[in-house]
Structure 1
Amino acid sequence: MALNYDQICVFDTYLSDNQFASVSELTAVVHPHQVDEGDTVRLTCVSGCPEQADIMWMREGLPVNTTVFQATEKDAGRYYCAVYQQDSARSASVALTVLYAPTGVFLSVSPAGTVNAGSTVTFTCRSDANPSVTQTGYSLFKDGNLIHSGQNFIISDIHPSQSGRYHCSAWNGIRWRGSSLVKSLGIHLEVQNPPMNITVSVNPERAVEGSSINLTCSCEANTAADTYTWYRRTLSESSSTPVQVGSGKMLSFVFMMELHSGLYFCNVRSSFGENNSTEVLLAMSESPHDRKLLPILAGTGVCLSAVLLLMGLLLFWKTRKSTLSKKTAADLSPGVRKSNSDPNAVYANVSMLPLSPLPDKTYSRAAASQGDSHQNASTSYEDEVSYSTLNIKCRHPKSSVSVDDSRGSHGSRFKEDNCVVYATVVNTS
């Protein structure tokens, strides 16, 4: 669509000899007056004067070298035509609008420079475009992946994992050179963090007395650690304050001893902070020599146990045999037996008693007259006389008495009922 602007003007054009050409009107035509970047634009100036005058074009006060061109964002502005060297004799201005895709897309990061972990980072995308890019026309990318739509993006408590290369893009619907999405230059964001994921490795894994052992501290950090410090906590006092035992990335024991046992951890410090590793238990384990001696010691213990058991059984058997022998001898030998029974009971060891009944009288022999009793006794049962020894044992020593066992004599009576009569009867027939 062409816009025509008519202007009626009267001015003199100097030709020669003080002659002037009279121009009644000039009309500036810009076709089309609104174009997308890259489209062709034509400028036409129409004059109403009968004589043809030299015409020149101006944009925003600057001369235009050509009347046919491909529009760019720089070509936008107000145009007018005028008689050469007679700028006052000019047409009305005509505006040329050029729609163009975003240019100068720029991504800024605040704060700039090194970013510490835990900080707040703001991303802002800017561009120059006609029409202007809306909020939804901006996009933010990290390592080529879309992470946000909008002109501004804020990350609170940024993490080292969010380090990477960022760029933004802008879009307003105008295509230029086959693309409607224009990217900014990339910005590499490095998030500095204190040492993390600190681990302690033990080599060799088993600590044997007398051997050498190394503890190595390692961590994840995007900046080199400044210091490594080793601490030990005793096993008996796990809640006690740890004691510093060394420094450096590796802690070495040339000769492992029991006093080195404990809980170990390392502290790693950098310019961005510090952290501790988890505690690692370092304890003594039996040596291969001890493991070889263990079966021998176990076998020796079993053998000693068997010997002691055998000796115990043998001693028990001898003791039992001796007890049985004594008991048998006591049962076979004549004598007096003690009893816990009724103190008035009478016990007798009787051998070879006569088969015929004996008279009611009791025949006994006293210790003082062993031979005379056989001569003086008169009875029809002389061949069947039994001799006995009586001992009377009373509860009270002063009450004991002797009894005469002469035939026909009934002896003396017990002075006390508490006495016990023990008798041994022997058949003499």
Structure 2
Amino acid sequence: MAQNYDQICVSDTDLSDNQFVSVSELTAVVHPHQVDEGDTVRLTCVSGCPEQADIMWMREGLPVNTTVFQATKKDAGRYYCAVYQQDSARSASVALTVLYAPTGVFLSVSPAGTVNAGSTVTFTCSSDANPSVTQTGYSLFKDGKLVHSGQNFIISDIHPSQTGQYHCIAWNGIRWRGSSLVKSLGIHLEVQYPPMNITVSVNPERAVEGSSINLTCSCEANTAADTYTWYRRTLSDSSSTPVQVGSGKMLSLVFMMELHSGLYFCNVRTSFGENNSTEVLLAMPESPHDRNLLPILAGTGVCLSAVVLLMGLLLFRKTRKSTLSQKTAVDLRPGVRKSNSDPNAVYANITMLPLSPLLQLLRGIHIKM
């Protein structure tokens, strides 16, 4: 670019003689006028003086110490040249544009630090770059793995599994010192949550009367548990209100008894909430004596029933024979009229007593004596 000035150029004569040379123009040249950071820039000032005058360079009103340099983003701006100590005799300004990779890449998290599970968390990545980083030029990583592309990322219902180390990367296509990707410092996000996956282990697994039993409560939590509380429900009524039976991570039953049987569970409480384990059954096994007692009693009952039935049959037969004998004796007494027509008349007047329903049922049973 060039601009005409009615300027003066100091000659070799003594200034006291007031002899000057007229200058028609000064032209500032910045080459190249657009560079990537790190490229070399040259400043050249062309004047119309017959002899080279002392020239100075200015950038945004500040003096420039060298006319050949490697550009940084701070060197961007408008340049002009002027005759030394005669700033009014200067060229038109020329712009130098410096393109540079993202710097000051920064990841912000809101809320920061520690958050509760279920909260909403916003990640925002920012940078200083020329040209500016576009939305697609930002990437968010968790523990080294890509989780999102874009400048902003919102998690509306954060989960404990999203605890980790986060950082973002910015890219605008400009390389600097061999790299075009610049990443932010890492930020650790901690997601607090109530105790979860609570389990109860029993040792030994088989309860024996008189033995020692230990119940241990374990859980998954990112903060130490404040309290462990043990509860038991009775086997006779599993819907009953549980009764507190102990506290601490381990519950010990020194001498196992039948009254210790029941459904056990532990409650774990932290500063972020509480949860219960599933219930575990602790019961005394049946002893061999108890298992054999029922068939013995059943067999005894069958035998007693058979004996009673047999005695009833014998009593019935005996009673029947006695009745028949008495009837026969009565019919054969003197004076009793005999029947000449029927040789079996001795049975003619015998009247059979009606059988009871029980005897009718047993009538078909024949017992050999």
Tell whether the 8 Å contact from 1:334 to 1:349 is kept in structure 2 after alignment.
no
Q: Distance in 2 between matches of 1:263 and 1:279?
A: 6
Q: Distance in 1 between matches of 2:256 and 2:5?
A: 102
Deviates more, 1:159-168 or 1:170-179: 170-179
Aligned CA distance change for structure 1 residues 426 and 11 (closer, same or farther; 3 Å): closer
Q: Secondary structure at the match of 2:330?
A: helix
Q: How far does residue 290 in structure 1 lie from its aligned partner after superposition?
A: 7.2
CA radius of gyration, larger in: 1
Q: Distance in 2 between matches of 1:72 and 1:356?
A: 125
Q: How far does residue 350 in structure 1 lie from its aligned partner after superposition?
A: 18
Tell whether the 8 Å contact from 1:107 to 1:124 is kept in structure 2 after alignment.
yes
Q: How far does residue 178 in structure 1 lie from its aligned partner after superposition?
A: 2.6
Q: Please say if 1:149 is aligned against 2:159.
A: no
Q: How far does residue 61 in structure 1 lie from its aligned partner after superposition?
A: 1.8
Q: Distance in 1 between matches of 2:284 and 2:167?
A: 56
Q: Distance in 2 between matches of 1:428 and 1:314?
A: 11
Q: How far does residue 85 in structure 1 lie from its aligned partner after superposition?
A: 2.4
Q: How far does residue 354 in structure 1 lie from its aligned partner after superposition?
A: 39
Query: 1:369-426, CA deviations, whole angstroms, 9 ceiling, x for partnerless residues?
Result: xxxxxxxxxxxxxxxxxxxxxxxxxxxxxxxxxxxxxxxxxxxxxxxxxxxxxxxx99
Aligned CA distance change for structure 1 residues 78 and 323 (closer, same or farther; 3 Å): farther
Aligned CA distance change for structure 1 residues 213 and 23 (closer, same or farther; 3 Å): same
Q: Distance in 2 between matches of 1:318 and 1:193?
A: 88
Tell whether the 8 Å contact from 1:163 to 1:191 is kept in structure 2 after alignment.
yes
Q: How far does residue 127 in structure 1 lie from its aligned partner after superposition?
A: 0.5
Q: How far does residue 179 in structure 1 lie from its aligned partner after superposition?
A: 2.1
Q: How far does residue 344 in structure 1 lie from its aligned partner after superposition?
A: 13
Alignment correspondent of 2:350:
350
Tell whether the 8 Å contact from 2:6 to 2:23 is kept in structure 1 after alignment.
no
Q: Distance in 2 between matches of 1:296 and 1:355?
A: 36
Q: How far does residue 317 in structure 1 lie from its aligned partner after superposition?
A: 12
What count of residue pairs does the alignment treat as equivalent?
363
Aligned CA distance change for structure 1 residues 427 and 106 (closer, same or farther; 3 Å): closer
Aligned CA distance change for structure 1 residues 345 and 77 (closer, same or farther; 3 Å): same
Q: Distance in 2 between matches of 1:355 and 1:157?
A: 87
Aligned CA distance change for structure 1 residues 217 and 88 (closer, same or farther; 3 Å): same
Structure scoring higher RCO (CA < 8 A, sep ≥ 6) equals 2
Q: Distance in 2 between matches of 1:186 and 1:213?
A: 48
Query: 1:45-84, CA deviations, whole angstroms, 9 ceiling, x for partnerless residues?
Result: 1111123211111111222221111212111111111122
Deviates more, 1:296-305 or 1:139-148: 296-305
Q: How far does residue 141 in structure 1 lie from its aligned partner after superposition?
A: 1.0
Q: Distance in 2 between matches of 1:3 and 1:171?
A: 40
| Large movers: runs of 4+ above 4 Å | 1-22, 287-358, 425-429
Aligned CA distance change for structure 1 residues 240 and 262 (closer, same or farther; 3 Å): same
Tell whether the 8 Å contact from 2:55 to 2:81 is kept in structure 1 after alignment.
yes
Tell whether the 8 Å contact from 2:215 to 2:251 is kept in structure 1 after alignment.
yes
Deviates more, 1:14-23 or 1:197-206: 14-23
Alignment correspondent of 1:324:
324
Deviates more, 1:12-21 or 1:68-77: 12-21
Aligned CA distance change for structure 1 residues 260 and 89 (closer, same or farther; 3 Å): same
Aligned CA distance change for structure 1 residues 258 and 44 (closer, same or farther; 3 Å): same
Q: How far does residue 152 in structure 1 lie from its aligned partner after superposition?
A: 0.5
Q: Distance in 1 between matches of 2:143 and 2:191?
A: 15
Aligned CA distance change for structure 1 residues 220 and 180 (closer, same or farther; 3 Å): same
TM-score (norm 1): 0.67
Q: Distance in 2 between matches of 1:81 and 1:122?
A: 50
Q: Distance in 1 between matches of 2:354 and 2:72?
A: 163
Q: CA RMSD in A?
A: 8.8
- What percentage of aligned pairs have identical amino acids? 92
Deviates more, 1:63-72 or 1:344-353: 344-353
Deviates more, 1:320-329 or 1:228-237: 320-329
Q: How far does residue 248 in structure 1 lie from its aligned partner after superposition?
A: 0.5
Aligned CA distance change for structure 1 residues 45 and 208 (closer, same or farther; 3 Å): same
